[in-house]
Amino acid sequence: MIRLILLLVILAAALLLGPQLADHQGYVMIAIAGYTIEMSVVTATLLAFVFYLVLLLTENVLTRLFSVRRGLRGWWQNRRYLKAQRQTQKGMTALAEGEYQRAEHLMLRSAEKSDLPLLNYLSAAEAAHAQSEYQKRDDYLQKAAELDPQAQLAIQLTQVRLLQDQGEWQRSRELLEQLRLRWPHHPQILQRLYRIYQSQQAWQEELELLPLLRKQQLLTEEEFIAAQEKNFRAQFDKILEEQTADALLAFWQHQSRLIRHTPQLQLALIDSLIQHHQDQTAAEQLLPRLRKQANEALWQRCANLKLEDASALLQLLLRQLKQHPQSAVLLSALGHLYYHQEQYVLAQGYLERSIALQPSAKDQRTLAAILEQLRLFEKAAEYYRLSLS
């Protein structure tokens, strides 16, 4: 636009000054290397003007040519970009449909022109993994890591997931523990480590992780308590399978005061002792707790004990019966203890009272066995029948 205005100004000046200069054209001489060119000022001006017009025309033609070239190049690049996007979409579809070989091929072909090449390589790794091409999978993950160093966490969590799917629990555990050093509170790392510790029965490591999972709100309070109890029960059982009751009590004493005063864990300790036929040790754990607080959970454990001498425990339970005469659980505990002491008449009385208040199959079967010992076979058969209904 500016050039056009400039040309119009020059043309107007030429029209105005032309007639006045017609009789005074002036004189211009140009000498170059022995050649001499002579002309009037008006002619020289016109030639210069024409030369300028030729320059403008040449510039315009060249500009258009280069614009066309750039347009062609942009069109070609855009075409390749759109093709890469279509291939990526087809690759994702193939991966979702289980066509892993095709998905891998499409993802790799479109990786260089894709908006998100990281996604292409991660998807290619998924496809290779599904074909059990584990070396290719690791190569693609390495390529993704080189391509985007800022995405290390996402890449390595993908690797962990694929390793776990492959059954490589130890390798995935080592990788996760390395990641935890850099991201100690990352939810995915903590949750995956928790599952690995459970699968490997790494009880101590799991136990140390549980408070952090609760703090990060990855476990509710109820889930935390249940997981903690399950963990300790597993540790108790393992110690009793491999060592002695004394080893278990030593382990228990090494726990924190908070742990040793948690009722659920105290009961878990007693249950493990009873299940491994350490009844006397279990009774020693029960007695001081019963003296501090009588409750149904402790009475239920008493009913499972088979002791050579249950006199101390029986005396304590009889004193508590005066305060809880209508407790079916306490009456049941007394009945089972007297049964194991072969005091069948006393056992019968307590169990009949317990069943009258709260029938249970266990009490009915035990009472039937007692009645057999007392040669009351018809009555015993009746209680056997009731225990099955």
> Which amino acid is it at 102?
R
Q: What is the pLDDT of residue 76?
A: 45
**Tens digits of pLDDT across the chain (389 residues):** 666 676 666 666 665 655 655 555 566 666 666 667 666 666 666 666 677 677 767 776 666 665 545 544 544 455 555 565 677 667 678 777 888 888 777 777 776 776 677 778 888 888 888 888 888 888 888 888 888 888 888 889 988 889 888 888 899 999 999 999 999 999 999 999 999 999 899 999 999 999 999 999 999 999 999 999 999 999 999 999 999 999 999 999 999 999 999 999 999 999 999 999 999 999 999 999 999 988 999 999 999 999 999 999 999 999 999 999 999 999 999 999 999 999 999 999 999 999 999 999 999 999 999 999 999 999 999 999 998 98
Q: Which residues on adjacent β-strands are paired with residue 38?
A: 29
Separation of alpha carbons 317 and 331, rounded Å: 9
Q: What is the pLDDT of residue 61?
A: 67
Return all residues near 185 (Cβ < 8 A) that are at least 6 apart: 212, 216
Separation of alpha carbons 282 and 272, rounded Å: 9
Give how far Cα 212 sits from Cα of 175, 193, 200, 223, 224, Å.
Answer: 19, 12, 19, 13, 10
What are the E-state strand segments in the chain?
28-32, 35-39
Return all residues near 38 (Cβ < 8 A) that are at least 6 apart: 27, 28, 29, 30
The number of C-alpha atoms within 13 Å of 311 and in the hemisphere containing its C-beta is: 1
Return all residues near 156 (Cβ < 8 A) that are at least 6 apart: 175, 179
Separation of alpha carbons 31 and 194, rounded Å: 95
User: In 10 A of CB 59, how many CB atoms?
Assistant: 11
Tokens of 189: 């790392």
Domains of the chain: 220-306 (1.25.40), 326-389 (1.25.40.10)
Q: Which residue has the tokens 């209904």?
A: 389
Q: Which residue has the tokens 């499409």?
A: 106
